[in-house]
Amino acid sequence: MAVRLPAVRDRLEEIAEPWPASEEEYRALADLIVPAAQQRLVVGLQDWDAIDTKALGVLATAVASLAVLAAAHHTLNALWWLPAVGLGVACLLLAAVIWPYDVESAPDLLELHDEMRNDGALRTARELLSDLTAAADGNDNPLDRKMTLFGYALIVLGVSLAACLPILIIRPGVT
């Protein structure tokens, strides 16, 4: 159930005052603006799915790399644990990316219909736009946080994998 935020509704009233020709405003809202707001919400949720899927794949790679280092550590350089620590940090960052966050959902259309039953189509379209915009805005910060964590995880993973090369190449006692 979407929570109606008075601040968002007031912001919409302040930014987009009703047009003098209400029929034109309704057509613009119904044909252009509300579908664009719906699309923005859907694209944001698809971005959440995409970053989670990517993070899960990279997490599997990091865990596999960590497992190989741990399994073969007795044949490797004594400093094998350094890239292993980095891989562990990358795994933690990637786990934070896929950790469940609260998602702002679109407004409940039956509830909106019930609340706006006695209002006109224009007022209903303005309310729907306000609710869709609030939901999309509410999802932006967690998505930005997920993307930032994913970026840091890739950097740590890259450095850790690069550190594996000397560990694999320089093995004392192996001729």
Name the band, by pLDDT with cuts 50, 70 and 90, for residue 76. Answer: confident
Whether the per-residue pLDDT at 4 is higher than 70: the answer is no
Identity of the amino acid at 15: I
Of the candidate ranges 13-22, 30-39, 106-115, the one whose mean pLDDT is the lowest: 13-22
Question: Structural domain boundaries of the chain?
Answer: 6-169
Per residue in 34-44, pLDDT (tens digit) is 888 889 999 99
User: What pTM, to 2 d.p., does this model score?
Assistant: 0.75
pLDDT of residue 1: 42
Listing DSSP states for the chain in one string gives -PPPPHHHHHHHHHHSPPPSSHHHHHHHIIIIIHHHHHHHHHHHHHHHHHHHHHHHHHHHHHHHHHHHHHHTGGGS-TTTHHHHHHHHHHHHHHHHHHS----PPPP-HHHHHHHTTTS-HHHHHHHHHHHHHHHHHHHHHHHHHHHHHHHHHHHHHHHHHHHHHHHHH--TT--
Q: What percent of the chain has pLDDT over 70?
A: 86
pLDDT of residue 170: 81
